[in-house]
Amino acid sequence: MSDIILKAENISKQYRLGTVGSGTLRDDFKRSWAKLRGKEDPFLKVGAVNDRSQKSTEDYVWALCDINFEVKQGEVLGIIGKNGAGKSTLLKILSRVTAPTTGVIKSRGRIASLLEVGTGFHHELTGRENIYLNGAILGMTKAEINSKLDEIIDFSGCERYIDTPTKRYSSGMTVRLAFAVAAHLEPEILVVDEVLAVGDAEFQKKAIGKMQDISQGEGRTVLFVSHNMASVKSLCTRGILLEQGNIKLEGETDTIVNDYLNLSSAEFDLKQRTERSGNGKIKINNAQFLNRSNKVVQVISSGDYLKMRVSFDVNEEDFEHLIFGFSISDVHGNLKAMTVTDEMALNINHLINRGYIDVEFSRLPLRGGSYNIQLVLSENNTSVKNHLDVIDNALNLKVLEGDFFRTGKINRRYNALVLDCNIV
């Protein structure tokens, strides 16, 4: 048990949704004056019954319910979940920013937190002065801070502005300096919320590398919250999935991430989609992504096997030659890839009532990111007048960075296709 550095026991947190009862004399007077005039309580929530003799249970919400877990020294624990799941509340409790309603936190050593942009900074002070302020809060001496000062300033990239008040900093500069301070002042536990998303891609990569160094090389513990699942998978040794204030799953990072990403349906019911074009002789009714085991998935890693199954209904059988095509674009609308069965000399004929088409990628060539897929069914050729059914943004696919070439190296420098080719 000596390697347990942080332990949460039966942590719950309750918040009050409104201020139905307040203790100030002024508010009590306003209530009494409103009552004398036959008016509603001015501090009553909209839609609530004006009966102060009863206490409504709807005035409270449990942000966290009976949370229990342990973190060992040197571990990087990823905490993931949808917005409102309780991630930030949990980190605030672990960082002693707020107290739990029930339960207790047991920890060894200093805790440095990066919860919100500018947290822990006095914005009238310069960047340099804030470094000393944060170090003092962590219990460090001036000599200890001096020994790390140059490293902190260099890592933050704010050398030119270090003697400028932080109120003049952009949010990105503030986050860079705050992370540099938290990471270099040698806390035993580093707590990092989603604020790294404010920084640019280069700094995010730099910050991830630093967190790996302090956990693996220096044996310190990191608690990391992020919606970037690629970062969670590459950094964290273990994960916790929160759902509506409860721990839904705890264990290996890959398992936790895959469970989280597949919380929403990976099937796309297209039968009722109205934003489509074509003459309707054949209509696409459903599409889904399948892995090698024919299990429906919504997220896949670059280089993995993927099957896209597109199902359709045949409303009129008097078509000659069916052509299927699809295109893949990034979230900014930039075309990444496309293919058409007509160019492949693939004939699809003799369809009755319904059918489906499978598109198989033995090794998915897409880099990490989110992609939209357009589906097209046409007759004889791909001219607009021969379109049977066309659906823009029919599917969305989330791709994680993967070890495409099985070399142990993941290239994140370019958002492009990965070409599997022979170089001699």
The length of the chain, given as a count of residues: 424
The residue out of 33, 61, 89 marking a domain boundary is 61
Higher pLDDT, 169 or 348: 169
The whole-number pLDDT of residue 1 equals: 44
**Residue 417 domain-assigned?**
no
Where residue 384 sits, what CATH number does that domain have? 2.70.50.60
The whole-number pLDDT of residue 93 equals: 92
The whole-number pLDDT of residue 96 equals: 86
Let me know whether 251 and 388 are in one domain.
no
The whole-number pLDDT of residue 137 equals: 78
Where residue 230 sits, what CATH number does that domain have? 3.40.50.300
**Residue 233 domain-assigned?**
yes
Let me know whether 31 and 99 are in one domain.
no
The whole-number pLDDT of residue 423 equals: 43
Query: Average of pLDDT values for 88-102?
Result: 90
CA dist., res. 267 & res. 289, Å (int): 7
Q: Is the pLDDT of residue 196 over 80?
A: no
Let me know whether 102 and 12 are in one domain.
no
Higher pLDDT, 277 or 298: 277
The whole-number pLDDT of residue 424 equals: 34
Let me know whether 98 and 139 are in one domain.
yes
Let me know whether 110 and 257 are in one domain.
yes
Higher pLDDT, 409 or 122: 122
The whole-number pLDDT of residue 25 equals: 74
Which pLDDT band, with edges at 50, 70 and 90, does 125 fall under? very high
SS3 letters for 160-215?
Answer: HHCCCEHHHCCHHHHHHHHHHHHHHCCCCEEEECHHHHHCCHHHHHHHHHHHHHHH
The whole-number pLDDT of residue 35 equals: 80
The model's pTM is 0.59
The whole-number pLDDT of residue 263 equals: 60
Work out how many domains the chain is built from and give that number: 3
Let me know whether 53 and 94 are in one domain.
no
> Among 243-247, 339-343, 415-419, 420-424, where is mean pLDDT lowest?
420-424
The whole-number pLDDT of residue 52 equals: 45
pLDDT digits (tens, 9 = 90+) for 327-379: 998 877 888 888 888 776 566 665 667 788 898 998 888 888 888 899 999 88
The whole-number pLDDT of residue 387 equals: 87
The whole-number pLDDT of residue 76 equals: 92
The whole-number pLDDT of residue 180 equals: 86
Copy the structure tokens of residue 34. 């409103």
Angle CA 81–229–243, to nearest 5: 10
Let me know whether 57 and 76 are in one domain.
no
Let me know whether 31 and 124 are in one domain.
no
Query: Average of pLDDT values for 12-26?
Result: 69
CA-based max dimension of the chain: 92
Let me know whether 19 and 132 are in one domain.
no
The residue out of 214, 235, 261 marking a domain boundary is 261
Eight-state DSSP code of residue 18? -
**Residue 19 domain-assigned?**
yes
Q: Is the pLDDT of residue 270 over 90?
A: no
The whole-number pLDDT of residue 215 equals: 85
**Residue 348 domain-assigned?**
yes
The whole-number pLDDT of residue 347 equals: 64
Q: Is the pLDDT of residue 281 over 70?
A: yes
Q: Is the pLDDT of residue 202 over 70?
A: yes
Let me know whether 212 and 341 are in one domain.
no
The whole-number pLDDT of residue 411 equals: 53
Copy the structure tokens of residue 67. 């949370």
The residue out of 44, 61, 78 marking a domain boundary is 61
**Residue 199 domain-assigned?**
yes
Let me know whether 39 and 93 are in one domain.
no
The whole-number pLDDT of residue 405 equals: 61
Let me know whether 54 and 100 are in one domain.
no
**Residue 270 domain-assigned?**
no
Mean residue pLDDT of the chain comes to 81
Residue 287 sits in which domain range? 276-400
Which pLDDT band, with edges at 50, 70 and 90, does 183 fall under? confident
**Residue 197 domain-assigned?**
yes
Higher pLDDT, 334 or 381: 334
Q: Which residues pair with 309 in a beta bridge?
A: 288, 358
Query: Which class for 422: exposed (0-12), middle (13-18), buried (19 or more C-beta within 10 A)?
Result: exposed
Residue among 147, 146, 184, 177 at smallest CA distance from 162: 177
CA dist., res. 207 & res. 196, Å (int): 8
CA dist., res. 279 & res. 270, Å (int): 16
**Residue 284 domain-assigned?**
yes
Cβ-Cβ contacts under 8 Å for 318 (sequence gap 6 or more) = 281
